[in-house]
Amino acid sequence: MLRIKLSLEPHNGLPERETLHAALCYLMTRFYFHPCHAVAAGVVDHLRLLLEHPDSDDSAAEQETYRMLFERWKLIERLGTSTQPNMHPLHTKTNA
């Protein structure tokens, strides 16, 4: 599993929520350009940490978004990248 090393850990070994969110965005972008199981597992791990974080926002919409993303990324992690179509713009054909 790929986890970005995060330095500030104020809550029982958990990084700040904003740091986790930033790392999650980075991992999702990295997966887009370099799909692999380790990156997908890192996305799942960071989403889990955000869902369980003691400083979770009280926003129901935010929590539901993280929960839905968590379920989708668990599926991506389980199925692996070989079953996912490569959606990178450089790898798709255009009808031009």
Residue 41 lies in a domain: yes
Q: What is the pLDDT of residue 81?
A: 66
User: How many C-beta atoms surround the C-beta of residue 42 within 10 A?
Assistant: 24
Calculate mean pLDDT across residues 29-55. 93
Q: Is residue 47 part of a domain?
A: yes
Is 24's pLDDT higher than 90? Answer: yes
- Contact yes or no for 30/63 (Cβ under 8 A): no
Residue 85 DSSP class:
-
Rg, the chain, Cα only: 15
d(CA 26, CA 43): 9
What is the domain range of residue 37? 29-80
pTM: 0.73
Q: Is residue 21 part of a domain?
A: no
Neighbouring-strand partners of residue 14:
11
pLDDT at 93 over 80: no
Task: pLDDT band for 4, please (50, 70, 90 cuts).
Answer: low
Task: Give the mean model confidence (pLDDT) for residues 38-64.
Answer: 89
Number of domains in the chain: 1
